[in-house]
């Protein structure tokens, strides 16, 4: 069973719908025992970094998320869910992220392109991770974001894209996976990414 963490962030239902379409059992929840007993965890999200961290704290989810990661359960952050896994964001100066991974979230620079970035961009795989099994380099996925990840550890970056900067679009470290784009909105490529996560073997 896959637990989708509910902390009042947007876009949760579309993630649930995509996971169900792939034949996996899932539940949207913030219940501690349900999350601890799940086989895999998804942290989705659309919204602001600071507000999201406040909600995670208010619902008692910060330590719970860290515990599920320490328990070595496959964990997938999507969009804002990726950003929250890192240490800080320019969107909310002084607000600490979950700090599970090392890096910072930076505003997309003003280089004549529209911000937020809304649309399809192709991926490159500097270190092709398990989420991208069966997916060719150059595949297009769907982004909606004004901020992007610069990870401190280059070896965890599994996908990049270019949009006014080199964007670290996906990461993988041990049992933690995350992507800045929305796999649930990325057609057959995105569904394959989610299927790869669903099919991960749990130790």
- Taking only the tens place, the pLDDT of each residue in 75-121 is 999 999 999 999 999 999 999 999 999 999 999 998 989 999 999 99
Asked if 78 contacts 128 with a C-beta cutoff of 8 angstroms, the reply is no
Task: Classify domain 2-198 at the CATH class level.
Answer: alpha beta
147-183 pLDDT per residue, tens: 999 999 999 999 999 999 999 999 999 999 999 999 9
Average per-residue pLDDT for the chain: 96
Q: How many Cα atoms sit within 13 Å of 23 on the Cβ side?
A: 4
Instruction: Give the number of C-alpha atoms closer than 13 A to the C-alpha of residue 172, restricted to the C-beta side.
Output: 17
Full-model pTM: 0.97
pLDDT of residue 38: 97
Residues contacting 51, CB < 8 A, separation 6+: none
User: Which burial class, exposed, middle or buried, applies to 136 when counting CB atoms under 10 A from its CB (0-12, 13-18, 19+)?
Assistant: exposed
Annotated catalytic residues are 79, 182, 184
CA 25 and chain centroid, separation: 20
- Written as six digits, the tokens of 182 are 């929305």
- For residue 203, what pLDDT is reported? 65
pLDDT at 128 over 90: no
- Distance CA(149)–CA(85), nearest Å, equals 10
Q: Is the model's pLDDT at 197 over the cut of 70?
A: yes
């Amino acid at each position: 069973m896959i637990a989708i963490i509910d902390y009042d962030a947007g876009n949760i239902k579309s993630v649930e719908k995509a996971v169900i379409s792939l034949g996996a059992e899932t539940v949207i929840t913030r219940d501690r025992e349900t999350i601890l007993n799940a086989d895999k965890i998804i942290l989705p999200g659309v919204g602001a970094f600071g507000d999201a961290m406040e909600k995670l704290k208010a619902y008692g989810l910060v330590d719970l998320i860290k515990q599920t990661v320490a328990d070595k359960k496959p964990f997938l952050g999507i969009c804002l869910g990726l950003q929250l896994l890192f240490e800080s964001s320019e969107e909310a100066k002084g607000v600490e992220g979950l700090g599970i991974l090392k890096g910072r979230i930076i505003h997309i620079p003003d280089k004549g392109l529209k911000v937020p970035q809304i649309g399809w961009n192709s991926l490159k795989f500097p270190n092709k991770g398990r989420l991208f099994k069966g997916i060719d380099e150059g595949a297009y996925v769907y982004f909606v974001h004004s901020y992007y990840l610069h990870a401190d550890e280059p070896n965890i970056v599994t996908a990049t894209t270019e949009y006014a900067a080199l964007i670290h679009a996906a990461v993988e470290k041990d049992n933690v996976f995350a992507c800045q784009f929305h796999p649930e909105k990325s057609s057959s490529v995105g569904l394959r990414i989610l299927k790869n996560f669903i099919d991960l073997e749990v130790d």
